[in-house]
Structure formats: C-alpha cells, structure tokens
Chains A and B, each alone.
With several copies, the nearest count.
Chain A
C-alpha cells in the first residue's frame, strides 16, 4: 500500500480528539475534509480579490472574473470536457441532476417516453426523474441490482427500447462501492440515440474521469466530496445537447436583452448560470483540483482501493457480518456492511463514542436497502488521507461493539 500519511499534515481537522479519542474520519463519501490549500484559497480571495464577476470594469472585479474563469478551465480539463463552455457550475450533484431533469426533460420528454435508471441510484438520481416523468407523462424504469451488488445487464438490450429517451446511472455506488461500466453503457446508448447522464458524485476526485472517453451527454459531481468547499459542484453537458436546451433560471448574466415583456438569452454556460455565482466556491474547487493533481489521481485511486481491500478482508473477522457490494478488486473506496447484533444507528453511535466517524442508515438509497432486505447499513468510506492503522483502530472498536451489543 502506498504511504500517503504525510498528507494528513495538510488537513487541520484530522488532528483532533473526539470523545477523548483521536478522530478517525471514515465518512468521506458523505463529505471529504479540506486541505489547508483550499481553505487558504478562500481566505486569499476574500482578503484580496472579492468582487462580483463579469459585470465590473474595476480591478477587483477583473481579478475575481479571471480567477473564476481560470477555475472553469481547470475543472473542465480535470474531467476531460471538450471545452470550458461545456461546464456549468451548480451547488452540487443534486442541483446538476435537477437542472437536466427540468430543462432537458422539458424539451425532449413526451408522454410514453421512458427514463431508465438503476436500482442502485442515490435519491438525488431517482426523485428528479420521477418528478420529470410526472410532469411530462413519461415513465421510469430501472435496471435491477444483482446479489453481488452489480447491475443485472443480461437484458440490457431488451430494456433499451425505442421509448427510452434517457439512461442514467451512478458511476460509483455510494452504498455498494460498485464501479459501473458506464463507458460500455453510454456507447450502447449513443448508438441508439439515447441521451445519458452519469452521476459521478463518488468518482470525481477519487479516480480518473474523462467524460469524452465515457461518451456521456451529461456528467454531474459535487465539490465537497473532493476536497473543495461546500456549495459548489458541476454539470458537464455535451455542447451539442446544451445548445438545444432552453434556459434554466432567469436573471442576471444569462440574458442578452431584457424588456418589460420578453427577453433573449446567452449560450451555455452563461445561459444556465443566472445570478451571482458562488465565486469563492468555484475558486476553491479550482484549488482542490490543483491539490489533487499534485498527489496524482491514479495514486489516490490506488490507495483508496488498497484501503478498501484491507478493510473488507478484516471485516470478515466479525461474527454475523454481511458485507455489501462486489468483492472484486476494482471498487470505490468504501465498504458497507450489516452486523446481525446491532442496528446501524446503534453501531455508529457506539463508534462515535470512540472517536470513529462512520455513517449508518440508508445512505439515500432506500430502494437498495429494500432490495437487500436490510433496514440500513454501516459504511466506512475512505480518502487518501486515511491509513491502514485507522482501519486497525476501526476493527478494535467494532470488535468491542460486537461484545457490547451481543
């Protein structure tokens, strides 16, 4: 396992005690921690350059605008977009999906059409489509999940009927750790003229992502899960598809000409970014990418995979444990499990009193819990600053929990 423990020094928050024990933060899939470099980028912005972007002709406004657009270039390049104009800034994955489910759907979805998602989607990639279907008279269908936590793709060709107008799928499952074959699926869809949206919330910043290689029409992600500030994320949209979409919010910066009766609109990305954006957030996202790139995204992925393998191997020590998701080597850097003796909430509460931050519950994937007939699961999710020593500590605590609850 490569040793990245020196990077812990970059994260002030990690060096604290929780309930008298050193903090072990294994809730990275919910939100990652932020390195000094990202925090500093915010401070620097507010202490030196803060002003509204795009609209001023004064020095601060120009500096803020330059930093803002530089970050757009960076993010676009980081995910392999063809051009910065294909990158729209949003609050995060959820807003990105809702944008598409509102705007793309309002233009392209007709009664009788089908939106195809999977049984392992996050609520954020289910509810918006259900709402869009209700509005348009379309319906939703899903690809089932197999017992091993992978998609049941045996009947995929039969599922991709002419009625299917959009296929959407999580890149890396936040509840199972499954990495889905998004490239193969998007290739199939492209041939059939089906638009595609990939939920990359657990992928970007954890593994190398190239949207052009994947061949999707939309790709969405959240900054706060990849070392960036809260409140910022992105929507990649293929230029050709974005060009056909009507505006989203109305307001400043997205218009050309406004009269008291009607208005005309700019092209993407401005068309979809009405109002003052989260300027500091965007700059912080750029700083996060700079930071991740100094480590190297492939090393981050490798380290996460190794930690996960080690954790999954050690978890089998626990009596009555059921580990969810695939047991193959290529997984997202998280593992979820269920202990017979303790409900996830009791277990997570116990862990917390020992300084260990786990997550327990449905992880915003209620249908998946139902499918596996469990009320919820406990999840340990890792990032590059986590270590195998921390996993040993987790095991110590989980062993104690088993004794406590049995």
Chain B
C-alpha cells in the first residue's frame, strides 16, 4: 500500500472531524479542577487539560484547550470523550493500551475497549508523529498521578 493511502487512513474522517470540531473544549474554574499543561515546543503543539475527579479517583468531567496539528488535537478530543466516568485503574490501563497501539509494541489488553481510538494505530507508519498523538495522554497520566487520592 503506498504511503499516500496510509496517510488517508491516518487522517480518516473521524480524526479530521475531531480536529476540526474538537469535543469538550473549554476549561473549569481553577479551584474545582486539576489543570495540566503539556506542550511540544519543537512543533508548537499545546494541550491544556482541565479535569475534575470524583472521590474514588475516577474522572467526573474533563475539558481541554489546545492548538497544534490535527493528530494532537484529535487525539486529545477523542481522549476526553473516552475517559469520563470510568474507574481510575481502567483509565491507566487505557493510557497504556493507547501507547502500545500507537507505538506498535507491547500488548493491547483488549482492543475492544479502545473503540474509535483504535484508528490512531495508523500513526505507526509515521513515527515522527507519535509524540503528537500522545501529547494529551501524557498530560492525563500526569494528572492522574498528581490528583490527591483518598
């Protein structure tokens, strides 16, 4: 398959759609959320995550603001749709699965749980874009570890 086909696959409708109309855009007031800024200065991509946690460590609500390439913004947008409400342990597992999918290494626990995110698999053919796809996810991971747990 020529690379231009791979590219089409990478930028499938879903991803272009998320990048053009990102879901869960915006922020919460500072005292009611964890705010994590991630950037990749070498390409100018930026993601600001605003996350509200439940008592049990699961995510009650999440928004983001950002700028950058289609991959970084779409990946973050898809992420915010995916992680709301599910238990902390499962989010951590999801982050790992997503990383394995994008890097094409390790084992994905159950690709079923990834859903739409499975589309990011196409990144494997574009290794220099991996950091774009993971930018928001790395922020989420930091947020999970920095959130005070009871």
Contact = CB atoms under 8 A, between A and B. Distances in A.
Interface stretch (B2-10, B53-61, B95-103): B2-10
Interface stretch (B23-31, B68-76, B84-92, B135-143): B68-76
A404 B132 contact: no
A342 interface: yes
Given A57-B128, A62-B128, A345-B132, A375 B4 contact: no
B109 interface: no
Interface in A330-370: 342-346, 349-350, 352-354, 361-362, 366, 369
Contacts, number: 61
B16 interface: yes
B106 to A, nearest CB: 20
Interface size class on chain A is 20 to 34
A316 interface: no
Interface residues of B, number: 23
Given A353-B7, A375-B67, A361 B129 contact: no
A345 B2 contact: no
A200 interface: no
B4 A361 contact: no
B64 interface: no
Interface of A: 19-20, 54-55, 57, 62, 255-257, 342-346, 349-350, 352-354, 361-362, 366, 369, 375-376, 404-405
Nearest 7 Cβ contacts at the A-B interface: A343-B69, A345-B69, A353-B4, A375-B44, A19-B3, A353-B7, A353-B3
Given A20-B2, A345-B129, A366-B44, 15 more contacts: A19-B2, A19-B4, A54-B42, A55-B42, A57-B128, A62-B127, A62-B128, A345-B68, A345-B132, A349-B129, A350-B7, A353-B7, A361-B44, A362-B43, A375-B67
